[in-house]
Structure 1
């Protein structure tokens, strides 16, 4: 369920409270940024995006280019990015993000993309931004989450002039990440050993089909997935399941901040931290793990698909969704990069 839909549900559930506390809600969602809807040209198709500029200070501003994780994402990830944009703005940086192809009326279909396609798309956005008068072309960096970990390193290797790369909850190997995610979620809900074994066998059968280059019809005929992937999703996974950044990370020349949640159920953060430390020169790498934080660096008990409390926090105090220190870490890191 999207954050926007969850916010709407929360609003309905507490309508009377919102009426009495309307001023507070408005204040909490009044972020210290100026948003512009923009059309990013130069790539495979025009991208419908948002450029979030600081309210204070004089341009040209530095820029953080956002790279989404998996899923159908709007430019602001259903408002989830706004506290992050505000943190970067406090350090004198604008933020640029866009609706994925096929989302919110945008051209194309993000499920047709490979990770390489997404890297090329990101490069096109960087080139477009360098032509904007309000952007300092010499102070551009990347922020990306989850699946962006298979996109940003390719971009950063080809563009060592970038000021930084901020990787949030990124994985190393697509196949290992998927198995870790399955095991972690089953463990979280206290699944039995028999259920775990059955789910792992199901997963192994699906991976075998991918390695054989099986058609969607064969996948539907032989899989026990419930529900099965859509045909678009099967095609997307078939194109990308071999993604692995092990060989590209040693080529990085860009300062990198790796941010991880201690209670990440999606990604094996211990593996990610180890591989980054083994691959990226120590003088370029900063790693920080947030206790009690989820994959999104949100407080673990608030990063739930359902439940009234997470919805109320998102509505009345959106900045407090994030793990303590996360937004400050982002602001401080890019502020430091202004002069380096």
Structure 2
């Protein structure tokens, strides 16, 4: 206990040591974050010319001393995604690097200062973009042009086989890929309604709203007509988004998957996927590709659509803290290791 005459001096000492303790803890936490976000690979910004525009990309390469590497080309899912998906791709890039593969990804048009607008793109436009990126990579002395494959998630399910039809690829990693746009949309609607515990009346109303949207799309109705039909309640739909959907709603990967016959494919499916009907996806992939004996199916019962652990994705706080202090732990157990092993077996 501090004597009365020394109280102020003693109190100051306690305050100083408390501050020192806080700073030490803070420094330790910063150190943990920096260490967890230090990946075993080199990254460089690259520029790829395509169609009179520039794709702003990132090339991540292994630190193994080799002069040439195979390459994994990344195809994004829906939304305004930058090259690293807000650093979310980096654990997978590191897994690729451990298998001796580089990774290439780029900002979607209109994202992070990139020219253009991704909402103006069709799935064919995206495939042409990827084919141009592969041609650029094959011209590099540090990339083995005979070992270039694709990694694509969700909406990229419509793009992956289109790319393979345009240029040879050595493998495909398909993560929660979609098959049919309209069927996926209906599946997602019903799954979300079930998750919300929606009443029968609400479910009926939402299905009717969805059916109206489909009829308008088939008639190539303008956004103004859609807005009128929805009585002004567009539920977040914008004119640009309506234009994007109108351009792509007929997408169906079923027949396009024939371009992947003979190509090693790893199909990755989540157990808690409310975006994609994984049973239907697996059925179609097996129907179209199993005969060639090159399809590998990996299921992750504890994963959500993004392959993040479902228990983590359910909480914004858990997601933020895990992404900050242990980003590799975001993903379902075995996901990163299986991707690395698949690439090592490809060679």
Q: Does 1:187 align with 2:194?
A: yes
In structure 2, relative to structure 1, the CA distance for the partners of 1:175 and 1:16 (3 Å cut) is: farther
Which residues of 2 match residues 74-223 of structure 1 at below 5 A?
74-159=82-167, 161-223=168-230
Aligned to 1:235: 243
Aligned partners of 1:246, 1:162: CA distance in 2, in Å? 19
| 1:189-214 alpha-carbon deviations (Å, 9 max, x no partner) | 22222211111111111111001110
Gaps of 5+ in 1: 1-14
Gaps of 5+ in 2: 1-22
Give the Å deviation of 1:223: 1.8
Aligned to 1:286: 296
Does the CA contact (< 8 Å) of 1:57 and 1:92 recur in 2?
no
Q: Does 1:303 align with 2:310?
A: no
Aligned to 2:60: 52
Aligned to 2:19: none
Does the CA contact (< 8 Å) of 2:156 and 2:178 recur in 1?
no
Q: What is the SS of the residue equivalent to 1:259? A: strand
What count of residue pairs does the alignment treat as equivalent? 323
Q: What is the SS of the residue equivalent to 1:292? A: strand
Aligned to 2:331: 322
Give the Å deviation of 1:102: 0.5
Does 1 or 2 have the higher relative contact order (CA < 8 Å, sep 6+)?
A: 1
Aligned partners of 1:84, 1:324: CA distance in 2, in Å? 13
Does the CA contact (< 8 Å) of 1:42 and 1:128 recur in 2?
no
Give the Å deviation of 1:250: 2.8
Q: What is the SS of the residue equivalent to 2:250? A: coil
Give the Å deviation of 1:20: 3.8
Give the Å deviation of 1:287: 1.0
In structure 2, relative to structure 1, the CA distance for the partners of 1:16 and 1:216 (3 Å cut) is: farther
| 1:217-249 alpha-carbon deviations (Å, 9 max, x no partner) | 111111254424111110000000000011122
TM (norm. structure 1) is: 0.91
| Misfit runs of 4+, over 2 Å | 15-20, 224-228, 250-253
